[in-house]
């Protein structure tokens, strides 16, 4: 069985474990106040091209989203998100548990537009009963989105302009940021992201780390007291250095960038094979997730050899499924999957 | 400088890192549904002497407390705790953030009694305005307590009987459980704990793991849907096997027990030196934390050679401080501290 | 100017004020523990044909919804509602503020079906990642709905059967219950409602009272500790007798039923005039709210003489508006509106 | 039986019911946007001597406290209060339900001091683990306090200065404000209160209204979006004019002041009789609540003729009880109670 279920089926890049072993019995202060965290922060600031940003390390994505959102919103505010957004669908209501509504905008491919945000805000402001509705307080997007799609520099620029116009901080969930930056048609760099939003996070868990996400706070007014909220949300790791070490390794010699490219290259080979075979794709993803639409028979065929994820029923006969690669996907496994696709009965 | 600040200044027991390295590129399902977690659960059930308990793995203590408490309480209920309890003092209001009040009982040494719980419940039930007050819904204790003290088997038995009488689930925070079980005057075993409460957790972070806490749910009615609450609180680790591996190693050949004993032995040597020198102790702890009361001059003396924690001002001249050992504390460092104590100017 | 904006533009039925004046200086216990509340409870139980239900009095609709929902759901659960439901749209996120997600089902006319609920629950139960999603914990409907439509006895019976099958308490928001029961094509009685759901409320604010809603809890397991939740949500009125007196008057000699019928009769005259004139209706309502679709010119025409509410833009040229009658709407005002409709330029 | 249990046993001042009856069938906009509310706001601004304050009307005290506090605090902040404060004891955890901790300061007579607040803030700021604790975000006091005591102008001035120094908005719960202002040794006026805090409310429910509290927001930065929070907390009354009418009547010709003085005069007669008889008082109150300490036999004696409230057990033999007067207390009933006291067996 070869695994293409998700991008968190393996451990981490071996260099991380080496460094952990090497430093294991060192004694350091807790809660992120150690030199490894300081070093990793420095590297991330440099990679972002912004020396003044704040960088915090948390353990996982749901925790990070809940923490960042709780740190920004006031009690009567909600967060605008695509209806496909991770916070809207797959975090067991963590945002609501912190008291806030997710205000969803319809999206097919996972992205939302400046126009949608503007229209929502205008409608809210124009309503005579707006005080009876949740006030939009920030915007959440993911890059890449949950379905592997990307915002172009132009799209993100105009989305951010709309956010600024309506006074809404823009937060980018970068659980798979590395795969987005390495996306074959991507035109955004890390410094672009750091300039075109107020807060974002650099995903580690899915991009080479054992676990860990690095939150980057660019907007000055959102920096204060973030660590209180981290602690309150259970996101302040006692042995914080474990996060510092991981990001320190990942941001040394562009390791993060290099290993993420491997996943995208692998995914594009799979995409090519699917297209050659004439299999329709649910969305056009140029990152590490591919979503072919399969018949029942085709799903059955694949399931005997490869693990994948059911994504979305399309109609009675067809289902979108997900093949997901990672920094650790081997050429051998990709080759096997490509063969499977080629030999698939139509 | 020798470090006695806390029990999370080092990494983890080397066998854990070895096992992580060994299994690093294996592909496993996420979220705790892997074989390593299954194996660790099995070992913990066996160590608890109760095959029917549920075992879940979370990342840290605050997260674990918030998750367990949210899974038990109804909206109008609060959790009874010593006023020195970790949830009452040092979790940035995580319990309140989930909507619940911490109902504190006065405690000097960190423990609460069956009598206190009974009196609280009786007073609540007797009040004609009880509906205007938060209803006690569960009891939280820590073993060992935040100040290193222990419940005896007799004390825990009667406390649990009181909880059962008033219909309150009893939850034991075992962040330092290993050090409690290894405590020199402790008469409770792991199976005792598993029998004398409804939910507890076996602390990993402070007792040999890189991170991780194992929640054991003994009461049947509290088992349902716990994983939803874990996910909502950001406590479901994507690469759940990292937790499974750690507890699997810790519960192999009594490793957890053995390494925790090291910390207690070290702490008792320090205690002995303090007593020989005639230094008063803030509480009488037989576990890995010791709390001498020092003058300003003595604090100054120590701070030049050893890192420790300020605990509690006693009066204008004296302060209780904490020396904390861990599974990793070396005999050499203990010897150095003992020498420092012996040579301390009175 | 004649007012058809809403059903809370007037005070209350004069008999209520008379009774308040008559009893004004009596001294009674607070918080609903007085004889007037007891009497009103008794009358409501009788009107419901169920002697064993619990009856509680709260002040307003949003408060009542938030309180009932908080009393039913567990931390990881959400409430299923039509996307047009009041709790989903017009309560400033009160449900989310209590930590719960509103799980919306698409609805055009304000109702949801047994099939929709069943499909939602089946999909949730079948999902391998259901623990990453909010668990459905109850169902909310309104009777009549926010757009004046009604469930038939058959529809409510099958919806309640679905709720019972999936273990979901059914809660009916009866803010305009009187107008629903008096609806011209309604086939449900108050005892039917009391038998076909688990909790509902009898709206007073919009149906003849100064303010006040009477919550009826039919399901035994939902009764316990409701008053704690009321107090926590600020819904326990100090001078509770004010609520008791109002419902006592409204449920004396079928006053509630009689005065609500006035509103429906008035609304149907307006509906008749609209239909005679060939004005399209947004939904087919047989209760006290009517929703004609008007052009800009028509809206302009009306706005010079009558106050109404903008409901929903239909397209660039047309808008659904609401004309709302109440127990206090005078025949004279209805006649004036009917004339306006007749003379409207097409 | 004569009632001295609480100050909400009667209805309202007759002028209020007259005005309600007189205006009953008028049609007005909802939610506080009517002319009666506008008029009442104007009168309150004038009485406060501050034309620029915002005034909002809510229904009850718990709701008001929860709404104001939720509008001020950030997610990681708590509210400082006397441990006897109403929000700390008697609101079923409404503050916690909104996610915030009540940070209690010890108090015997219900007041807290500038020194206590300063010490708390200094200790928090000085702690190296402050991020692990709830951050103080505002201060709550009540005037008069729950035990009828008052802040002098000097005390309030210095408390407010401390709040300003530490950046904490000061909120005054004025559930019984009228009785405080009428207190026989009070040296604070309504304009003083409006100048010496950031938000306060003028209690109506206990001071002559049927129900209702008028929130006055003096600090500019706290004004924005308050109505959203009101709606979210179920505190925006549909027929808002009912609140406007009541405060309009109460603030016409100093009615509020005059009727509250009646309660204080009555209470002081009772106090005089208690002192003449040599009965100890639990606290020295110069407002409408008096707290004699009675033996079991004395309690028994009174309970045959008068309703009062059990306040606090003092020791095995003695209990503090409360006799409470109101704007509606009759001279006749006071005289009867005074006789009872005089004839009490010692």
Closest CA to A111 of A131, A88, A154, A141: A141
Query: Could you report the per-residue pLDDT of B136-181, keeping only the tens digit for each?
Result: 999 999 999 999 999 999 999 999 999 999 999 999 999 999 999 9
Taking CB atoms and an 8 Å limit, are C90 and A131 in contact across chains?
Answer: no
**pTM for the structure as a whole:** 0.97
Phi and psi angles of residue D141, each rounded to the nearest 5 degrees, phi first = -130, 165
pLDDT at B341 over 90: yes
Query: B76 with C228: CB under 8 angstroms?
Result: yes
Rg, chain C, Cα only: 20
For chain A, the domain total comes to: 2
Query: A117 with A141: CB under 8 angstroms?
Result: no
Q: Give just the sign of the alpha carbon dihedral D303, D305, D307, D308.
A: negative
Taking CB atoms and an 8 Å limit, are D92 and B131 in contact across chains?
Answer: yes
**Same domain, residue pair C268 and C229:** no
Residues 292-321 of A with CB under 8 A from C: 310
- The number of beta carbons lying within 10 Å of the beta carbon of residue A257 is 16
Cα dihedral C88→C91→C96→C101 (10° resolution): -10
pLDDT at A44 over 80: yes
Q: Which pLDDT does position B346 carry in this prediction?
A: 77
State the Cα–Cα distance between residues B119 and A59, nearest whole angstrom: 41
Q: Which pLDDT does position B62 carry in this prediction?
A: 98
Q: Which two tokens stand for residue B90?
A: 């040092």
Q: Which pLDDT does position B345 carry in this prediction?
A: 82
pLDDT higher for C305 or D171?
D171
Taking CB atoms and an 8 Å limit, are C132 and A91 in contact across chains?
Answer: yes
Q: Which two tokens stand for residue C214?
A: 């009477």
Taking CB atoms and an 8 Å limit, are B236 and C71 in contact across chains?
Answer: no
User: How many CA atoms does the CB half-sphere of B287 hold within 13 Å?
Assistant: 25
Taking CB atoms and an 8 Å limit, are D96 and B100 in contact across chains?
Answer: yes
CA angle C56, C61, C62 (to 5 degrees): 115
User: Residue D184's Cα: distance from chain center in Å?
Assistant: 17
Q: Quick one: closest CA in D to C61, which residue?
A: D234
Using DSSP's 3-state secondary structure scheme, residue D171 falls into strand
Confidence at A345, pLDDT banded by 50, 70, 90: confident
Rg, chain B, Cα only: 20
CATH number at residue A295: 3.90.1150.10
The pLDDT of B186-209, averaged and rounded, is 98
Confidence at D51, pLDDT banded by 50, 70, 90: very high
**Same domain, residue pair C335 and C206:** no
**Same domain, residue pair B331 and B209:** no
Query: B275 with A97: CB under 8 angstroms?
Result: no
Q: Is B224 on the interface with C (CB under 8 A)?
A: no
pLDDT at A249 over 90: yes
Confidence at D68, pLDDT banded by 50, 70, 90: very high
pLDDT at C54 over 90: yes
**Same domain, residue pair B108 and B146:** yes
In chain B, which residues have their Cβ closer than 8 Å to the Cβ of C236? 131
Q: Which pLDDT does position D166 carry in this prediction?
A: 98
In chain D, which residues have their Cβ closer than 8 Å to the Cβ of C333? none
For C171-200, the DSSP string reads: EEE-TTHHHHHT-TT----HHHHHHS-SEE
Query: Could you report the per-residue pLDDT of B30-57, keeping only the tens digit for each?
Result: 999 999 999 999 999 999 999 999 999 9
Pairing of strands C213-217, C199-203: antiparallel
**Same domain, residue pair A245 and A313:** no
- The number of beta carbons lying within 10 Å of the beta carbon of residue B195 is 16
Q: Is C232 on the interface with D (CB under 8 A)?
A: yes
Confidence at A109, pLDDT banded by 50, 70, 90: very high
Using DSSP's 3-state secondary structure scheme, residue B326 falls into coil
Residues 12-31 of C with CB under 8 A from B: 31
Pairing of strands B77-82, B102-105: parallel
Query: Could you report the per-residue pLDDT of C58-103, keeping only the tens digit for each?
Result: 999 999 999 999 999 999 999 999 999 999 999 999 999 999 999 9
In the DSSP assignment, the letter for residue B193 is: H
Of A211, A226, A253, at which residue does a domain stop?
A253
Q: Quick one: closest CA in D to A236, which residue?
A: D132
Query: Could you report the per-residue pLDDT of B56-81, keeping only the tens digit for each?
Result: 999 999 999 999 999 999 999 999 99
In chain D, which residues have their Cβ closer than 8 Å to the Cβ of B133? 89-90, 92
The Cα of B20 is separated from the nearest Cα of chain A by a number of Å equal to: 8
In residues, how long is chain A? Answer: 346
The pLDDT of A190-205, averaged and rounded, is 98
Q: Which pLDDT does position D1 carry in this prediction?
A: 82
Domain containing A309: what range?
A: 2-7+256-342
Q: Which pLDDT does position C346 carry in this prediction?
A: 77
- Mean pLDDT (chain D) is 97
Of C253, C280, C312, at which residue does a domain stop?
C253
Of C197, C220, C253, at which residue does a domain stop?
C253
Question: Touching C: which chains, 3+ CB pairs < 8 A?
Answer: A, B, D
**Same domain, residue pair B120 and B213:** yes
In chain A, which residues have their Cβ closer than 8 Å to the Cβ of D70? 75
Cα dihedral B24→B28→B33→B34 (10° resolution): -60
Q: Is D70 on the interface with A (CB under 8 A)?
A: yes
pLDDT at D346 over 90: no
**Same domain, residue pair B193 and B246:** yes
**Same domain, residue pair B332 and B193:** no
- Mean pLDDT (chain A) is 97
Query: Could you report the per-residue pLDDT of A55-73, keeping only the tens digit for each?
Result: 999 999 999 999 999 999 9
Q: Is A243 on the interface with B (CB under 8 A)?
A: no
Strand pairing partners for A105?
A: A82
CATH number at residue A133: 3.40.640.10
Taking CB atoms and an 8 Å limit, are B133 and D97 in contact across chains?
Answer: no
DSSP H or E stretch at residue A154: helix A153-165
Query: Could you report the per-residue pLDDT of D106-139, keeping only the tens digit for each?
Result: 999 999 999 999 999 999 999 999 999 999 999 9
Q: Is A132 on the interface with D (CB under 8 A)?
A: yes
The pLDDT of C149-157, averaged and rounded, is 98
Least CB–CB distance from C228: residue in B98, B135, B229: B135
In chain C, which residues have their Cβ closer than 8 Å to the Cβ of B71? 75
Query: B292 with B320: CB under 8 angstroms?
Result: yes
Q: Which pLDDT does position D345 carry in this prediction?
A: 82
Residues in contact with B310: Cβ distance below 8 Å, sequence separation at least 6, in sequence order: B319, B321, B322, D128
Q: Which pLDDT does position B58 carry in this prediction?
A: 98
CA angle B303, B304, B309 (to 5 degrees): 20
C-alpha pair distances (Å), C79 with each of A241, C144, C198, C222, C233: 41, 19, 14, 15, 18
Q: Which two tokens stand for residue A335?
A: 């080759």
In chain B, which residues have their Cβ closer than 8 Å to the Cβ of A5? 29
pLDDT at A346 over 80: no
Least CB–CB distance from C135: residue in B99, B228, B230: B228
Pairing of strands A77-82, A135-142: parallel
Q: Which pLDDT does position A105 carry in this prediction?
A: 98
State the Cα–Cα distance between residues C241 and D94, nearest whole angstrom: 23
Q: Which two tokens stand for residue C213?
A: 């809603």
Q: Is A207 on the interface with B (CB under 8 A)?
A: no
**Same domain, residue pair C185 and C233:** yes
**Same domain, residue pair A312 and A262:** yes
**Same domain, residue pair B175 and B318:** no
**Same domain, residue pair B89 and B192:** yes
Query: Could you report the per-residue pLDDT of A113-156, keeping only the tens digit for each?
Result: 999 999 999 999 999 999 999 999 999 999 999 999 999 999 99
Task: For residue D144, say if its preceding peptide bond is cis, omega within 30 degrees of 0.
Answer: yes
pLDDT at C345 over 90: no
CA angle A52, A55, A57 (to 5 degrees): 175
């Amino acid at each position: 069985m070869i695994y293409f279920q998700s991008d968190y089926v393996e451990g981490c890049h071996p260099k991380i474990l080496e460094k952990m072993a090497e430093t294991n019995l060192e004694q350091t202060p807790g809660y992120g106040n150690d030199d490894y965290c300081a070093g990793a922060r420095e590297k991330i600031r440099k990679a972002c091209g912004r020396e003044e940003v704040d960088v915090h390390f948390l353990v996982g994505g749901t925790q990070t989203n809940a923490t960042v959102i709780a740190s920004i919103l006031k009690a009567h505010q909600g967060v605008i998100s695509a209806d496909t957004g991770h916070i809207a669908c797959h975090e067991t209501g963590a945002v609501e548990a912190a008291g806030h509504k997710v205000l969803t905008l319809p999206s097919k491919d996972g992205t939302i537009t400046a126009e949608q945000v503007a229209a929502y805000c205008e409608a809210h402001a124009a309503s005579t009963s707006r005080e009876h509705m949740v006030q939009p307080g920030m915007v959440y997007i993911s890059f890449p989105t949950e379905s592997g799609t990307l915002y172009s520099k132009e799209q993100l620029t105009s989305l951010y302009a709309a956010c600024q116009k309506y006074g809404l901080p823009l937060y980018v969930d970068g659980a798979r940021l590395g795969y987005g930056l390495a996306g074959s048609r991507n035109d955004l760099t890390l410094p672009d992201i750091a300039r075109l939003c107020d807060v974002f996070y650099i995903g580690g868990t899915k991009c080479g780390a054992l676990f860990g996400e690095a939150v980057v706070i660019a907007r000055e007014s959102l920096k204060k007291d973030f660590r209180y909220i981290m602690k309150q949300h259970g996101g302040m790791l006692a042995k914080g250095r474990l996060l510092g070490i991981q990001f320190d390794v990942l941001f040394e010699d562009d390791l993060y960038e290099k290993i993420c490219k491997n996943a995208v290259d692998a995914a594009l080979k799979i995409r090519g094979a699917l297209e050659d075979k004439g299999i329709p794709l649910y969305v056009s993803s140029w990152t590490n997730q591919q979503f072919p639409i399969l018949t029942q028979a085709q799903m059955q065929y694949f399931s005997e050899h490869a693990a994948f994820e059911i994504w979305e029923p399309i109609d009675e006969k067809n289902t979108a499924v997900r093949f997901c690669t990672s920094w650790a996907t081997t050429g051998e496994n990709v080759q096997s999957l490509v063969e499977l696709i080629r030999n698939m009965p139509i």
